[in-house]
Structure 1
Amino acid sequence: MIHPTALVCSSAKIDEGVEIGPYSIIHKHVWIRKNTKVGAYCELGLPTPLAHNNQLEIGENSVIRSHSVIYAGSKIGAGLHTGHHVCVRENSDIAEGVQLGSRTDVQGDCSIGEYTKLHADVHVGKQSTIGSFVWLFPEVLLTNDPMPPSETLLGPVIEDYCVVASKVLVFPGVRIGNNAVIGAGSVVKSHIPEWKLAIGNPAKPACDVRILRLPDNPRQKAYPWRNRFTRGYPKEIVQAWTEQAQATGKSK
Structure 2
Amino acid sequence: MIHQTAIISSNAKIGHNVTIGAFCIIHDDVELADNCVVGSYSELGLTTPLANVKQLTIGKGSIIRSHSVIYIGSIIGEGFSTGHHVTVRENSLIGNFVQLGSRGDIQGDCCIGNYTKMHADVHVGKFSNIGSYVWLFPEVLLTNDPTPPSENLQGVTIGDFAVLAAKVLVLPGVTIQKDTVVAASSVVKTDIPEGMLFSGNPGKVICNANILRCADNPKIKAYPWRKRFHRGYDENDVQQWLNENKQLNMAHKKV
- Which range, TM-score by smaller chain? over 0.9
Give 1:183 deviation, angstroms.
0.3
Shift of 1:236: 1.3
Cα shift at 1:218: 1.1
**2:249 match: secondary structure:** coil
* One-letter code aligned to 1:28: D
Q: Distance in 2 between matches of 1:54 and 1:175?
A: 31
* Residue number in structure 1 paired with 2:67: 67
Give the letter for the 1:237 counterpart. D
Letter in 2 for 1:204: K
Once the two structures are superposed, what CA deviation does each residue of 1:42-62 show, in whole Å capped at 9, x if it has no partner? 000000000001100000000
Q: Structure 1 unaligned runs (5+)?
A: none
Q: How does 1:190-209 map to 2 (within 5 A)?
A: 190-209=190-209
State the Cα deviation string for residues 141-171 of structure 1 (Å, max 9, x = none): 0000000011110001011000000000000
Find out whether 1:93 has 2:90 as its counterpart: no
Partner of 1:132: 132
Q: CA deviation at 1:219?
A: 0.8
TM-score by length of 2: 0.97
Partner of 2:253 in structure 1?
A: none
- For 2:224, the equivalent position in structure 1 comes to 224
How far apart, CA to CA, are the structure 1 residues paired with 2:98 and 2:249? Answer: 30
**Over the residues paired in the alignment, what is the CA RMSD in angstroms?**
0.8
CA–CA distance in 2 between the matches of 1:234 and 1:65?
A: 23
**Equivalent residues in 2 for 1:59-208, closer than 5 Å:** 59-208=59-208
Structure 1 moving runs of 4+ over 6 Å? none
The residue type paired with residue 80 of structure 1 is: F
What CA deviation, in whole Å up to 9, does each residue of 1:111-149 have, x standing for no partner? 000000000000000000000000000000000000001
* Aligned residue pairs, count: 250
2:62 and 2:127 mapped to 1: Cα distance?
Answer: 24
Match of 2:27 in 1: 27
Instruction: Give the Cα–Cα distance (whole angstroms) in 2 for the partners of residues 36 and 217 of structure 1.
Output: 40
Separation in structure 2 between the aligned mates of residue 82 and residue 147 of structure 1, nearest angstrom? 32
Letter in 2 for 1:33: A
Please report how far the alpha carbon of residue 215 of structure 1 lies from its aligned counterpart in structure 2 after TM superposition: 2.1
Provide the rounded CA distance (Å) in 2 between the counterparts of 1:7 and 1:154: 38
* SS of match in other structure, 1:219: strand
Q: How far apart are residue 201 of structure 1 and its match?
A: 1.0
Determine the C-alpha separation between the residues in 1 that align with 2:44 and 2:223. Answer: 38
Q: Aligned equivalents of 2:172 and 2:229: distance in 1?
A: 30
SS in 2 for 1:248: helix
What does residue 236 of structure 1 align with?
A: 236
Structure 2 residue aligned with 1:49: 49
SS of structure 2 residue aligned to 1:78:
coil
Q: Distance in 2 between matches of 1:145 and 1:229?
A: 35
1:210 aligned counterpart, secondary structure: helix
SS of aligned partner of 1:249: helix
Note the C-alpha offset of 1:239: 1.2
Letter in 1 for 2:135: W
Q: State the one-letter code of the partner of 1:216.
A: D
Please state whether the residue corresponding to 2:237 is helix, strand or coil: helix
**Whole-Å separation in 2 of the counterparts to 1:90 and 1:12:** 17
* Runs of 5+ consecutive residues of structure 2 not aligned to the other structure: 251-255
The one-letter code sitting in structure 2 at the alignment partner of 1:101 is: G
Structure 1 residue identity aligned to 2:14? I
Counterpart residue type for residue 249 of structure 1: N
Deviation at 1:245, TM superposition (A): 1.0
Hey, what's the Cα distance between the residues in 2 that align with 1:173 and 1:202? 16
Deviates more, 1:223-232 or 1:101-110: 223-232
- Deviation of 1:216 (Å): 1.9
